[in-house]
Amino acid sequence: MSEARSGKVIVISGPSGVGKTSLYKKVLDALKDKLGFSISVTTRAQRADEKEGADYIFITIEEFKKRADRGEFAEWAEVHGKFYGTPKAEIERILESGRSVLLDLDVQGAMKIRESYPDAKLIYILPPSFEVLERRLYGRNTDDDETRHTRMQNAVAEMKYVSKYHLRIVNDDFDKALAHLQEAVEKLIAGDESWIEYL
Ligand code: 5GP
């Protein structure tokens, strides 16, 4: 590990359907010189709008288990019945390039990543209400009914972890949520932690 590097590890979590992916893609685009996205490995099926190697690396369960056994993941978790993992090499690649790292993790992964990166900062994107979340989840065509149901149940279960995050942003108005998220990430990269909502 190089001592000179100053990049931060930033985790974004939030329930499926909250608009988290659209938010962080915009932030990544706006801050691409300073921020890199850590591409996770998953055993879930690739969606039509996803690119292999850009959104995820899609692998089999056997391959996932081999990589987990070899200790290749900084964290991994089973989410909605599928496996997801963050390759250590991916985080290190981005930090070594002098940038900060943005990770999109479920709550279990967010708790675990702090074992390897204790200074990691965690941001949770909240829906305005469960009713709105349910509408958004059912309005999108990427999942079948059973998957949507599991995702909704998991969203409720996740809420007990929300207080463990450094900042919570409600995605009521997309542009406002984006401005809030981008400001927090920019400040964090610059070493300003005044945005953190301590408990
Ligand atoms: P999706 O299948 O909708 O892309 O993601 C489902 C969930 O898995 C989301 O909550 C997302 O944050 C989480 N996730 C994506 N990549 C990883 C990862 O590498 N590790 C963990 N723990 N969760 C991940």
Identify the pLDDT of residue 72.
97
The span from the CA of 12 to the CA of 28, in Å, is: 12
- Flag whether pLDDT at 2 surpasses 60: no
pLDDT at residue 78 tops 50? yes
Nearest CA to ligand 1 atom 2: 44
**Alpha carbon separation from 199 to 123, 162, 167, 168 (Å, rounded):** 13, 11, 10, 11
Stretch 137-160: mean pLDDT: 81
Ligand 1 atom closest to the CA of 109, numbered from 1 = 22
pLDDT bucket at 24, cuts 50 / 70 / 90: very high
Q: Which range (96-105, 141-150, 152-161) has the least confidence?
A: 141-150
| pLDDT tier for residue 199 given thresholds of 50, 70 and 90 | very low
Q: What is the pLDDT of residue 11?
A: 98
At a CB cut-off of 8 Å and minimum separation 6, what does 52 contact?
46, 58
Domains (ranges, CATH) in the chain?
9-189 (3.40.50.300)
Residue with tokens 């099926």: 45
Lowest mean pLDDT among 78-82, 121-125, 191-195: 191-195
How far is C-alpha 51 from the geometric centre of its chain's CA atoms?
17
To which residue do tokens 């300003």 refer?
Answer: 192
CA 110 to ligand 1: nearest atom = 22
End-to-end CA distance of the chain: 32
From the CA of 84, how far away is ligand 1's center (Å)?
Answer: 6
Atom of ligand 1 nearest to the CA of 107: 22
Give pLDDT, residue 48: 94
Higher-confidence residue of 70 and 144: namely 70
- With a CB cutoff of 8 Å and minimum separation 6, the contacts of 199 are 163
pLDDT at 120 over 90: yes
- Confidence band of 16 (pLDDT split at 50, 70, 90): confident
pLDDT for the residue 155: 85
Q: Is residue 42 predicted with pLDDT exceeding 90? A: yes
CA distance 93 to 99: 9
pLDDT-based confidence at 20, cuts 50/70/90? very high
Interval 174-197 mean pLDDT: 93
**Which pLDDT band holds residue 136 (cuts at 50, 70, 90)?**
confident
* Contact criterion met (CB below 8 Å) for 116 and 11: no
Residue with the two structure tokens 């962080």: 24
Q: What CA–CA distance (Å, rounded) separates 107 from 96?
A: 26
What percent of the chain clears pLDDT 70, i.e. is strictly above it?
A: 95
Q: Whose CA is nearest to atom 22 of ligand 1?
A: 109
